[in-house]
Copies of this chain bind each other. A is one copy, B any other.
Amino acid sequence: MYKINENYLKLQGSYLFSNIAKKVAAYKEANPEREVISLGIGDVTQPLCPAVIEALHKAVDEMAVAETFRGYAPDLGYEFLRSAIRKNDYQARGVELDLDEIFISDGAKSDSGNIGDIFGENNRIAVCDPVYPVYVDTNVMAGRTGEFLKESESWSNVIYMPCTKETNFAPELPKETPDIIYLCFPNNPTGSTITKAQLQEWVDYANKVGAVIIYDAAYEAYISEDDVPHTIYECDGAKTCAIELRSFSKNAGFTGTRLGFTVIPKELEANGTKLNALWARRQGTKFNGAPYIIQRAGEAVYSEAGKAQTKEQVAYYMNNAKTIIEGLKAAGYSVSGGVNAPYVWLQTPNGMTSWEFFDHLLTNANIVGTPGSGFGPSGEGYFRLTAFGTYENTLKAIERIKNL
């Protein structure tokens, strides 16, 4: 008789955002007359920019004619896209990469989940707490997390690095030594980030203890302050200890268009085995590339027009973030984030738990946010609002919160 992957049975509840979706659907069905505004899931609302739309149409036309039709893509992705990435995201920041250190994918969620494939089961992971749930859940599936401890709502074999008001929402170097360290800056969910000097400490630490850093830079486009690193490879020695994940979802609105990439420098080796080669084999065997037309759309993000237009979108969302922060502060909330990231992190009032505040906000203001505790035990007592709504809805939502 075939055996299932028993690790799946350890998973707690279902994926956070599925749970929220169910709660919201139930509320809407019971209260069809209410206008519910979502500042919950990190999904964008602005349409794809004109430069991207134009590139998509052009690529679609190419697919209609035998002479320009494209079948299977190169394993790593088209060179036109990898070149644009290298030039704009790395060379422009003083980072040199080989083209075959960049792997195009269908998004950072897939990559952050699949990257675990190239590591053994016997690695101990360290995560920020609160954390994007995919890092932990995919490691549960791989059998790396030990047992779930109900009292502490945590996994016995995971090193949690609390990011709370007390740590200024940044992780401290862990007391126990991890093998794989997940870092996401600018951070989802807290919206905070760390300086280049702070990230350098992590790189030095990882090189010292022999850990690998999975660096999720999906929110890089939202950085507004000068001393915040745009890529981990700005730090000395990062190429021997770090994998970087990037996404087109948030800088160019590709949440439903699906495109991302992973950088694995060839210097990154474990006992002589290059992780770059392992990932190339993983992707070559289990993945067949992002669609040609989507890769052309990604290329257009780096055109002059595309850069200007996506910058405008980011500014639009960051104006929402400012609106949220100022409104919440005026209403007496304690808030952080929202300066280098599209997420605002607030402390729940009156000692409410995160889920109590979720219900409170949904019922009394018809606003959907994300309970901090859904991101990990240290997220309890916090709540996430995203800047990805329309300006009109964001304004309306903040007014409702003020009037609570």
Contact surface of A with B, Cβ cutoff 8 Å? 1-6, 8-9, 11, 14-15, 18, 41, 43-48, 50, 53, 56-57, 60-61, 63-66, 69-73, 75, 106-107, 109-110, 113-114, 117-120, 122-123, 133-134, 137-138, 141, 179-180, 209-212, 253, 255-258, 270-271, 273, 275, 278, 281-282, 284-294, 390
Contacts and interface: CB of A to CB of B under 8 A. Distances in A.
Given A2-B270, A179-B1, A284-B15, A60 B53 contact: yes
Contacts of A209: 1
A5 B180 CA distance: 13
A214 B260 CA distance: 29
Most buried by B among A2, A45, A69: A2
Contact of A41 (B70, B72, B179, B273): B72
A288 B117 contact: no
A71 B47 contact: no
Nearest to A295: B256
B71 A48 contact: no
A44 B109 CA distance: 29
Contact of A285 (B107, B118, B141, B180): B141
Contacts of A138: 285-286
Contacts of A281: 8, 11, 14-15
A349 to B, nearest CB: 30
Most buried by B among A56, A71, A292: A71
Contacts of A278: 4-5, 8
A361 B281 CA distance: 28
A106 to B, nearest CB: 6
B258 A291 contact: yes
Given A11-B281, A273-B9, A282-B141, A211 B2 contact: yes
| 5 interchain residue pairs of minimum CB distance | A113-B286, A1-B210, A3-B120, A2-B179, A43-B71
B118 A8 contact: yes
A134 B157 CA distance: 32
Nearest to A180: B2
A141 B120 contact: no
A128 to B, nearest CB: 18
Contacts of A64: 47-48, 50, 53
A134 B288 CA distance: 11
A256 B2 contact: no
A293 B50 contact: no
A280 to B, nearest CB: 9
Nearest to A122: B3
12 contacts: A1-B270, A3-B119, A5-B120, A63-B256, A66-B390, A71-B253, A110-B286, A113-B285, A117-B141, A134-B285, A141-B285, A256-B291
Given A53-B60, A256-B70, A119 B5 contact: yes
Contacts of A61: 53
B288 A75 contact: no
A212 B110 CA distance: 26
A312 to B, nearest CB: 14
Given A109-B286, A258-B291, A3 B65 contact: no
